[in-house]
């Protein structure tokens, strides 16, 4: 299996073999973070630019740590303090970064498709760190990595994704990735937060939290993004918690060893109760640790593929 993509834009276009390669490479990289000297020289002399058009701490820091553990130099650009404020277009910003001889741009953008657009215009690598409501591939990869570590496999497992499915790039990437690797995915949310035609992605749809939890080997709880509720249409916070919040009581009816995940940051008392977030089933902090290994693998693979023609698999 050869990796020949200079960019990672989403999981939709990846093959099963490519997904498995990333996950197994990440498995090898995980050990690096347990060393006394947490650094390998694999990307020595390479420059990684974190270009973030949306506020993000955990994803940006995770990419920064990953790049530094590979010995790359890292530059962070927060667009609030950059010439983007002066009206520079995305492609111009990208070309300027390319002219600095950077090797990889890690980008978070509020528009769906922004990463793909930038990648088309540049020769250097673009890694999508979240674009609008479209995809957040490395988050889904770290979720899948954690699930595989906990459950031993992805084939045939039942994963329920609970929360704001409509606005969630994390849900979308997870659905693409998990279904390709043979997991059964259920999405669960109040009807207003379920996008039309989501069932065409090969998932089971329900608004009944008990149904979502009853057979699940794992539940991935999404953050309620109240900041996106411009039309004031979401259920109110307490109402949401009452009907969909993951509590110890609700988990009593689920499998004993159900894996509880959350991409963070958690709204305690809205998506889940504190005793669940800190409880024995929660792997939320392990997700953070695994995120480093997954992002190291992604940065390593796209850097290896540079200089080769981008081959579209179709």
Partner 1 sequence: MKEKSRVLDKEALSRSLIRIAHEILEKNKGAEGLCLIGIRNRGAYLAARLGSCIEEIDKKGVPVGILDITLYRDDLTQIGSQPVVHKTEIDFDIADKIVVLVDDVLYSGRTIRAALDALIDFGRPKAIQLAVLVDRGHRELPIRADYVGKNIPTAKDEQVEVRLAETDGVDEVVVVEKSQ
List residues near partner 1 by CB under 8 A.
2-3, 25, 27-29, 31-32, 35-37, 39-42, 45, 70, 297, 300, 303-305, 307-308
Q: What angle do CA 161, 170, 82 make, to 5 degrees?
A: 155
236 phi, psi to nearest 5 deg: -70, 160
> In the bound complex, what is the minimum distance in angstroms from residue 42's beta carbon to partner 1?
4
Give the residue with the Cβ less far from partner 1, 2 or 228. Answer: 2
112 phi and psi angles, rounded to 5 deg = -65, 135
| Comparison of 42 and 116: residue with beta carbon closer to partner 1 | 42
Query: Looking at beta carbons only, is 2 or 153 nearer to partner 1?
Result: 2
Please state, in angstroms and rounded to a whole number, the distance separating the CA atoms of residues 264 and 241: 17
d(CA 20, CA 16): 6
Please state, in angstroms and rounded to a whole number, the distance separating the CA atoms of residues 266 and 46.
34
> Would you please indicate which residues are annotated as catalytic (active-site) residues?
58-59, 86, 108, 136
- Of the candidates 219, 227, 226, the one whose C-alpha atom is nearest the C-alpha of residue 245 is 219
CB of 69 to partner 1, least distance (A): 10
Smallest distance, partner 1 to C-beta of residue 6, A: 13
Report the alpha-carbon distance of residue 3 to residue 297 in Å, rounded.
Answer: 11
Instruction: Measure CA 69 to chain center.
Output: 20
d(Cα 16, Cα 11) in Å, to the nearest integer? Answer: 10
Residue in this structure with the two tokens 């979502």, named with its chain if needed? 212
Q: How far is the CB of 12 from partner 1 (least distance, A)?
A: 24
Of 25 and 273, the one with the shorter C-beta distance to partner 1 is 25
State which residue, 292 or 303, has the beta carbon closest to partner 1: 303
The pair of three-digit structure tokens given for residue 52, joined into one six-digit string = 């973030």
- Residue 23 CB, nearest approach to partner 1 (Å): 12
* Gap between the Cα atoms of 268 and 248, Å rounded: 13
């Amino acid at each position: 299996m050869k990796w020949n993509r200079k960019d990672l834009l989403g999981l939709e276009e990846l093959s099963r073999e490519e997904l498995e390669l990333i996950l197994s490479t990440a498995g090898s990289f995980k050990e690096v973070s347990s060393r006394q000297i947490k650094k390998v020289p694999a990307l020595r002399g390479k420059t990684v630019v974190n270009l973030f058009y949306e506020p993000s701490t955990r994803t940006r820091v995770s990419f920064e740590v990953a790049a530094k553990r590979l010995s790359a130099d890292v530059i962070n650009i927060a667009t609030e303090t950059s010439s983007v404020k002066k009206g520079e277009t995305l492609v111009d910003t990208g070309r300027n970064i390319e002219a600095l001889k950077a090797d990889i741009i890690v980008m978070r953008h509020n528009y769906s498709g922004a990463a793909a657009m930038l990648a088309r215009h540049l020769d250097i690598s673009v890694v999508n760190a979240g674009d609008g409501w479209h995809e957040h591939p490395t988050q889904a990869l770290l979720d899948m990595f954690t699930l595989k570590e906990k459950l031993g496999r992805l084939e045939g497992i039942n994963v329920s994704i609970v929360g704001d499915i409509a606005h969630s790039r994390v849900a979308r990437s997870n659905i693409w990735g998990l279904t390709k690797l043979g997991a059964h995915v259920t999405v669960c949310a109040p009807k207003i937060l379920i996008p039309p035609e989501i069932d065409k992605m090969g998932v089971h749809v329900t608004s009944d939290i008990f149904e979502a939890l009853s057979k699940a080997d794992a539940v991935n709880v999404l953050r309620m993004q109240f900041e996106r509720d411009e039309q004031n249409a979401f259920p109110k916070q307490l109402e949401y918690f009452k009907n969909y919040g993951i509590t110890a009581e609700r988990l009593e009816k689920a499998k004993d060893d159900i894996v509880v995940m959350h991409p963070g940051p958690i709204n305690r008392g809205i998506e889940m109760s504190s005793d669940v977030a800190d409880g024995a089933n929660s792997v939320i902090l392990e997700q953070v640790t695994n995120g480093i290994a997954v992002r190291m693998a992604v940065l390593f693979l796209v850097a290896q593929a540079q200089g080769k023609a981008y081959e579209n698999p179709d």
